[in-house]
Copies of this chain bind each other. A is one copy, B any other.
């Protein structure tokens, strides 16, 4: 199967054959991690740059009262900590959700490659800006949409994002999060997430069992969620 990092970055800029080779080469060192293993902790300044190759991870922050807010889902192709070299210090933690394969790239190698290839450096810049755009959409969802639309939006986003890395088949995707983790993502309680999921199932919009999410009719779910994929900026490639 193609390298998800290449598949993703192609959406940000036209990549040359050398660019693709450079990425694939940089991803040579892989680590296999179990579920819920911390990759990078708040406050650290990791030596390597991490990329999800397989599985799911997330960014999150914790509060003193035990509350937790998940700030991003990291799926295959996503960088975990490209920004930390500039910022100097992680302001949040990154951990796996399901068993995952993570590539550790050499920070120096990244800098070398991007200084040579404008298209690759543009692609990385693009990826970071899309992360930001996703955060804006999540903020909109949390601030102004009811729980059912919020969950539906999130599932739409998941399908669109996984599509670009070839991980969707028949509008069915892996969704390895528990209700607690979904709740930590959406700012809801797990009990309420459970109830809303039941409603979405009863409405015939989704099926969800065994960590597999099947979207019955994507355009219908998108309409329900008022989802517009524009913010994902999935243009390039073709």
Contact = CB atoms under 8 A, between A and B. Distances in A.
Interface of A: 12, 59, 61, 63-64, 67-69, 71-72, 83, 86-89, 91-92, 122, 125-126, 128-133, 135-140, 142-145, 184, 186-187, 226, 230-231, 233, 235
A69 B72 CA distance: 19
B133 A91 contact: yes
Contacts of A130: 87
Contacts of A89: 230, 233
Chain A binding surface, main DSSP class: helix
A226 B64 CA distance: 8
Given A91-B136, A136-B92, A187 B131 contact: no
B231 A91 contact: yes
A64 B149 CA distance: 13
Oligomer: number of copies: 2
A64 B92 CA distance: 33
Most chain B CB inside 10 Å of its own CB: which residue of A91, A135, A139, A140: A139
A193 B197 CA distance: 31
Nearest to A88: B235
Contacts of A61: 136-137, 140
A25 B138 CA distance: 37
Contact of A233 (B88, B126, B140, B187): B88
In the complex, the 5 A-B pairs of residues with the closest C-beta atoms, listed nearest first: A143-B187, A135-B135, A91-B231, A69-B140, A67-B144
